[in-house]
Amino acid sequence: MAQGTDILDDLVAEYRQLDAVLATLTPQMWARPSAASGWSVRDVVLHLAQTEEFVLASIAGDRGDPGDRSAAGEHGAAGDRGAFTRPGGVSMDELADQWVARERDTPSDLVFERWRKAAAATPAALAGCAPGDRLPWATVPLSPRTLATTRLAEHWAHALDITVPLGIDYPDTARLWHIARLAQRTLPYAFAVAGQEGGPVRCELTGPDGDLWRFGDPDAPSVISGSAAEFCRVGARRLAPRDTGLRAGGPHAAAALRILRNYAA
């Protein structure tokens, strides 16, 4: 089960599952619209390559303008962009759109190889960080293992953006444990970002293999229960709570489902 598996091992496994899909795509498929609004399949993979390069830049300690491609760094394109930082007042969606737009003409085969190169380097680079390190990221500095979890969550969500419109199977795995745990643990942050008053919320979720996953204070008066796969999709904003079988009980559970997130914003 994922709760007994190291996050870095599971991150590698998620990369491999996505790589196996991307390797089968025809040129026409790369150009098809994805489920990410306004982005093609190629755009989605370009975004993953760009953000994966930012992981390497953050680990290396690079600090630069994300749009400045003049400086050469240890990690190639990652060094060109500097660490993943966000200007004030600019949403993550806006920033990601800007980055993708700048390089949208990159051929699909180069986008694929660029993502492969960065993804191959990321787990070892994260493993080389000290446990107490805090790496610059989109909103707040993250520990190496938390950053690894966010990369797993982002790759899983964008894999759905690619595979669902193309009708390609992308099975849910026990790796969703990491994503569900991240979403539950960051509920206080999600409430704060939404400007809503919250409270303790525990989760009792059924994993893809039928295991029961429990997160949070077992005595919390609010509880979300149901499918872990649906819970993670709600947190990724790929599924609305009303379209799931998730159950919300107690004073804060329904609000928690509305503001749930497993991504940076």
Q: Which residue range is the domain that position 181 belongs to?
A: 176-259
Q: Residue 247: beta bridge partners? A: 225
Do the domain assignments include residue 16? Answer: yes
**Do 93 and 201 belong to one domain?**
no
Q: Same domain, yes or no, for 89 and 25?
A: yes
Q: Which domain-ending residue is among 166, 186, 209?
A: 166
Residues 131 and 207 in one domain: no
Task: Render each residue's pLDDT in the chain as its tens digit; 265 residues.
Answer: 455 579 999 999 999 999 999 999 999 999 999 999 999 999 999 999 999 999 999 999 864 433 343 322 333 333 344 455 556 667 788 889 999 999 999 999 999 999 999 999 999 999 999 989 999 988 889 999 999 999 999 999 999 999 999 999 999 999 999 999 999 999 999 999 899 999 999 999 999 999 999 999 999 999 999 999 999 999 999 999 999 999 999 999 999 999 999 986 6
The tally of domains found in the chain comes to 2
Report yes or no on 207 lying in a domain.
yes
Asked if 232 and 183 touch (Cβ cutoff 8 Å), the reply is: yes
- 145 in the same domain as 18: yes
Last residue of a domain, one of 116, 147, 166: 166
| CATH number of the CATH domain containing 98 | 1.20.120.450
Nearest CA to 209 out of 243, 184, 236, 175 is that of 175
Last residue within a domain, chosen from 113, 146, 166: 166
